[in-house]
Amino acid sequence: MSVVVLLVLVLVAVLLGLGMTGIVIAVRRSPGQPGSTSTPTARRVVVYILLFALVVIAAIGLSGLLGRALDTSINLAGGDVTGLARSLAFTLIAGPFAVLLWWVLWRRMASAERASIAWGLYLAGLQTVAFVTAASALLGTLSALVRGDWQPRTLAVALVWTLVWAWHRWMSRHLSKSPTQLTSVAPILGSIFGLLIGAVGAVTALASLINAAVDALLSLIVIGAPWWRLALQAVVWFLGGTLIWRWQWMRERAQLVRGVLADLALVILGIAAAAAASLVGTGTVLFVLFRLAFAREHPLDDILDPFGTALATALIGALVWAYHHGLLRQRALPTRLAATLVVSGFGLVAAATGVGIIVNSLLSGLAPVVVGSDTRSLLLGGLSAALVGGPVWWAAWKPLRPVGPVSAQVTGRRVYLILIFGISAIVAIITLLVIGYRIFEFALDDLSRQSLLDLVRAPLGLLVATGLAAGYHFSVWRRDRAALAEAGLPGRAIHRVILVTAGDPTATRDLIAELTGAAVTVWQRAASPDEAAPSDAAPSDDLPPSAERLGLAFAEVTVARVLVVVGVGGSVDVIPLQN
């Protein structure tokens, strides 16, 4: 059977090689000039996808062969003829064709190829895949060494993919053939990867240390591996992730990148994920402390079991959150608003969940006691969620702060209000259906041993929480509409602004966003070929327009999309566009 499998793999490899030969010849003979009548975009997409697949397949095969060579405990075949045949086919077939196809593309690399999105996407994608694979394998090898486990095949994966990453990094930094688009994707994704594994490693290490301290205080005997081994393994991942993040974030200048991907990474990972982790961890810590103070029915070790992980999650999440919150001052207004609304949403969800659980636990006191119920712990859990989520929502949303017509026009605020009101209303309707179902079930089932209140108290608590959230946000939405009507602004007219400027667009972009509440897209104007370079002694004409000039320019605009051109001396031309 092994010989048959080997022959089949060889036959497939030969057929694949013939197909690759035809494609490479076609690419070699196809015209590559910008004025070609062929379809260069489709050709680039197909060729770079093919090159991506060939490089990945060859790297998998080579890492398999190198792993067998490094593993001295078995012979080369190691009883796994299928695996050896697969590695040989991947290496000896896909490898040469990958090199050949790359050599053809590299020789033909011109200005049109450099400016293509396919070239930049290929390098960014494969550089990220190689970097993540190599770093994970290397850290996994070091982590295994802590527990005395030598893993040569994992090390082989790290070595091979490090070579792939170094090769593609060299191409991405080549003076004459590096891509001109999507150059910041790989550093951003690399910093995200480093931050994730660093944060998880820090949480695991700190949780192990806290749990060991708690076990020592309670004089508990832990059976199994010593606690320091898990902590030391986590420290390896923490240090590796921190080094990766610092290198990608600062050395590769990912922190200076501006754009949709950078803003999404900041808001989703640095703010949303960190805030969620911090809130959940803090709520769990409060719940454990409340149980220690008011509900000691359970064994002490059961009560303290989630304490270490929760405290570590709360601390590390708060650190990541605080750091990225400080970076928001350097971002545009829509990004800052998005981060604020995300935090407000998490706080609202936590507070509403706590209110629902509190109502549920209070209603349980009026119902007959059911064996095995723990209403006190339920009440303490609701209090913990409400005490954590309520202040966070209050600090982020600021319900007592007056909202002017300009702020009421912002798209993010309006979408947030409608989204919260809509979701709360949908959940309330579903909860009403559940309550009706429970009532009819109780009326029709004479054998039920539970009271009606005990059947409906959980959905009734959820109904109260969602009803309060829906009612409040609906009232805020109506108040914003009233403020717009009072100011003579029936609604936000401008939805999108395309800003064309030659200077630094940051100040102008923020002013336009504050005045209109619209999403602003910046187009940087290129200098004319016959335009002379400005002298250092001459005053700069690329001055940003003032807020008064922008306000006058947008005063009579009533269309949804406009083009704003900033000229010499801060002049502004607003051009309405059709939808």
Task: Tell me the pLDDT tens digit for each residue of 248-295.
Answer: 998 888 888 877 888 888 999 999 999 999 999 999 999 999 988 887
Of 359, 361, 353, which is closest to residue 393 (Cα–Cα)? 353
For residues 571 and 395, the model is more confident at 395
pLDDT band at 76 (very low <50, low <70, confident <90, very high): low
The pLDDT value recorded for residue 39 is 61
Contact 112, 41 (CB under 8 A): no
* pLDDT recorded at residue 37: 39
For 467, the token pair is: 């009803």
Dihedral angle over CA of 153, 157, 158, 161, nearest 10: 170
> Does 24 have pLDDT greater than 70?
no
Check pLDDT > 50 for residue 1. Answer: no
State the pLDDT at residue 535. 44
- pLDDT category at 3 given cuts 50, 70, 90 is very low
**Residue 564 is which amino acid?**
V
pTM: 0.79
What is the band of 545 on the pLDDT scale with cuts at 50, 70, 90? confident
- Quick one: 559 exposed, middle or buried, by C-beta within 10 A (0-12, 13-18, 19+)? middle
The Cα 388–Cα 349 span in angstroms is: 11
Q: Residue 564 phi/psi, 5° resolution?
A: -115, 120
CB 334 within 8 A of CB 450: no
What dihedral angle (degrees, nearest 10) is formed by the CA atoms of 271, 274, 278, 279?
60
pLDDT at site 305? 85
Tens digit of each residue's pLDDT (9 = 90 or more) over 171-226: 988 888 888 888 888 899 999 999 999 999 999 999 999 988 887 777 665 555 67
